[in-house]
């Protein structure tokens, strides 16, 4: 909206072709400068230029030249039409076609693109009133097929896109967790199960082992691999009761191996914890450490 507002402003008396210089003498001068400052801050700070228009900040000077020329157009309708065309063309290319390509080709050859020449040729034909190269019936069929395919592919594309974004943002957590577990499994007393869960027996109980269908009562403390405590029933003084099949996989596996009265320290890989979910202090892809004491099988 901010970019559109800039393009829409016309100042008949403003014909400069060089970067303008501020000359603040009156209240209107001050207000004018203030409005420009605030609006420019919104445009630059929002990331819209980089994200929506793929503008490289190296070329801010060219961007400002375009803004200046748009202002300088004044009441010239021909120039105004040209600048609208520039805006629409950029939107069609960077927003419409580029985004459509990502969805349409994402599960195939991602080097493929739509033909800009054919797209623009059709654009010209419509606005110039030329007879279309293809029949209306054929194009209607192709458009319907395209829309159906896009609807089918969009959910998978969005899922893949989100997974990629999560990996880019939190992938270091995964690496740190893997490094920690690799080093931890070499320590005395640490055992590793087939799933990758690690545990160390602190106290071996003598009671029965719970099944996944039972409800258990435990005391625990949860830590991140950097030692940060994110939850503790011990600090609250309130043991926790829960169905064993209603918690993270790492807990279900560990507690089903623990006789009542046992206290273990368990080291849970991210895929057996919360995976890509963020849970309070627990960032996505975080390996977790728990000290758990199985107090009782409630039912």
- Please provide the average confidence, as pLDDT, over all residues in the chain: 86
Q: Which residues of 268-292 are buried (b: 16+ CB within 10 A; e: fewer)?
A: bbbbbbbeeeeeeebbbbbbbbbbb
Q: How far apart are the C-alpha atoms of 87 and 100, rounded to whole Å? A: 18
Q: Which of the four pLDDT bands, split at 50, 70 and 90, describes residue 55?
A: confident
Q: What mean pLDDT comes out for the span 202-223?
A: 93
pTM: 0.59
Nearest to 92 by CA among 126, 68, 62, 128: 126
Nearest to 230 by CA among 289, 281, 296: 281
Q: Which alpha helices (H) appear in 46-135, and where do they start and end?
A: 48-51, 60-72, 77-90, 98-105, 116-128
Rounded to the nearest 10 degrees, how much is the dihedral formed by the CA atoms of 16, 22, 26, 30? 110
Indicate whether 249 pLDDT > 50.
yes
Q: What mean pLDDT comes out for the span 198-202?
A: 96
Nearest to 103 by CA among 161, 183, 55: 161
Assess contact for 219 and 272: CB atoms under 8 A: no
Assess contact for 197 and 273: CB atoms under 8 A: no
């Amino acid at each position: 909206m901010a970019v559109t507002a800039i393009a829409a402003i016309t100042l008949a008396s403003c014909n400069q072709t060089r970067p303008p210089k501020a000359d603040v003498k009156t209240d209107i001068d001050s207000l004018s400068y203030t409005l420009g400052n605030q609006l420019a801050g919104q445009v630059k700070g929002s990331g819209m230029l980089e994200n929506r228009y793929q503008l490289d900040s190296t070329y801010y000077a060219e961007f400002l030249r375009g803004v200046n020329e748009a202002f300088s157009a004044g009441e010239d309708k021909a120039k105004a039409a040209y600048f609208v065309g520039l805006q629409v063309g950029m939107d069609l290319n960077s927003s419409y076609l580029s985004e459509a390509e990502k969805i349409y080709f994402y599960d195939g050859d991602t080097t493929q693109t739509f033909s800009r020449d054919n797209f623009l040729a059709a654009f010209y034909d419509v606005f110039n009133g030329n007879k279309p190269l293809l029949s209306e019936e054929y194009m209607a069929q192709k458009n319907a097929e395209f829309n159906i395919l896009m609807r089918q592919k969009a959910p998978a594309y969005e899922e893949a896109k989100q997974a990629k974004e999560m990996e880019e943002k939190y992938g270091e957590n995964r690496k740190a967790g893997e490094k920690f577990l690799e080093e931890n499994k070499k320590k005395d007393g640490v055992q590793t199960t087939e799933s990758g869960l690690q545990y160390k027996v602190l106290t071996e109980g003598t009671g029965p082992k719970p099944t996944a269908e039972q409800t258990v009562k435990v005391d625990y403390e949860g830590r991140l691999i950097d030692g940060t405590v994110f939850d503790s029933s011990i600090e609250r003084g309130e043991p926790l009761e829960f169905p064993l099949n209603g918690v993270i996989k790492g807990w279900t596996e560990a507690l089903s191996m623990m006789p009542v009265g046992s206290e273990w320290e368990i080291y849970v890989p991210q895929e057996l914890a919360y995976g890509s979910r963020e849970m309070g202090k627990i960032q996505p892809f975080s390996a977790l450490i728990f000290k758990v004491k199985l107090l009782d099988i409630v039912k």
